[in-house]
Amino acid sequence: MNESAMDTARQPVRAERRGPGYWRVTFDNPPLNLYDPEVEAGLVRIVAQLEADAEVKVVVFDSALADFFMAHLNVGRTREFGDGMPTWFDLIDRLGRARFITVATIRGRARGIGNEFLLALDVRFASRENAILGQPQVGMGIIPGCGGMQRLSRLTGRARALEIIASGEDYDAEMAERYGWINRAVPDAELDAFVDRFAQRIAFFDAEALVAVKAILNEENPPPTGESLKASYARYSQLLARDSVQQRFQQLGQATPDMILDLELNLGERIGPR
């Protein structure tokens, strides 16, 4: 990786070296930053390149879209991800075990698999004014199937995780910080400089010491087991396959782009009574 950027043309995911040992990965899949097969393929390529570079110490993930960090899974293309979403679960396992530290800069909405991606990273900082997190699946008759329940409960505790998931509501950055969901809510105008300083500071330090810190913390706080994740995804798939749920998604598929955008911007409010 001798170039300052891994991607020269516009890609749904791109990576750029910001300095020695410091890389930034940006999601850019308008209009909603859906997690679709192209995004997954981009992540596979980028993660493999980062793993191959022993000099990488810290990787920051952000979004090029102001309103969406990552809206959610592109459910209409679920079959393209393979039975049980093997690539997704391999990716988040590799990021958890990677020698580099992973950091999120969160602006806009991160719901469903978008939030589940954030939960799989090491550190999360969010815009106080412009970040919204949620697991809205219950409002559609399904459940988080990509690790959200296991990882969220480890951060927030069982009761708060149950509140978040069972309500399907949106949570702002201040509440997410209070719940332990994110590390810190930062004023939007200061967020980029804050995260950049944090990442540069990590990149300055000794690589082997950083590797040891992450490895020991992983041993003391092990990630969810593969069997637990498989069981959750199987239950998610069973719920998704029900006729009543499929009818809901078919109705959404008939909505106009303006209607879909309004729904996605206000999903936590729209999926249930107020």
Lowest-confidence region among 22-36, 154-168, 241-255: 241-255
Percent of the chain predicted with pLDDT > 70: 96
The yes-or-no verdict on residue 273 having pLDDT over 50 is yes
Look at residue 8 in the predicted model and tell me its pLDDT.
46
pLDDT tens per residue, range 67-81: 999 999 999 899 999
Q: Residue 1 domain-assigned? A: no
Q: Residue 56 domain-assigned? A: yes
- Read off the pLDDT band of 2 (50, 70, 90): very low
Q: Residue 239 domain-assigned? A: yes
Within 13 Å of residue 231, how many CA atoms lie on the same side as its CB?
A: 7
In this structure, are residues 108 and 134 in contact, taking their beta carbons and an 8 Å threshold?
A: no
Q: Residue 79 domain-assigned? A: yes
Percent of the chain predicted with pLDDT > 90: 91
What is the average pLDDT score of the chain? 94
Cβ neighbours of 145 (radius 10 Å):
27
Domain of residue 85 covers 13-206+219-270
pTM over 0.85: yes
Question: Can you tell me the distance from the alpha carbon of 42 to that of 175, in angstroms, rounded to the nearest whole number?
Answer: 32
State the CATH number of the domain containing residue 93.
3.90.226.10
pLDDT tens per residue, range 70-114: 999 999 899 999 999 999 999 999 999 999 999 999 999 999 999
Q: Number of structural domains, the chain?
A: 1
- Read off the pLDDT band of 4 (50, 70, 90): low
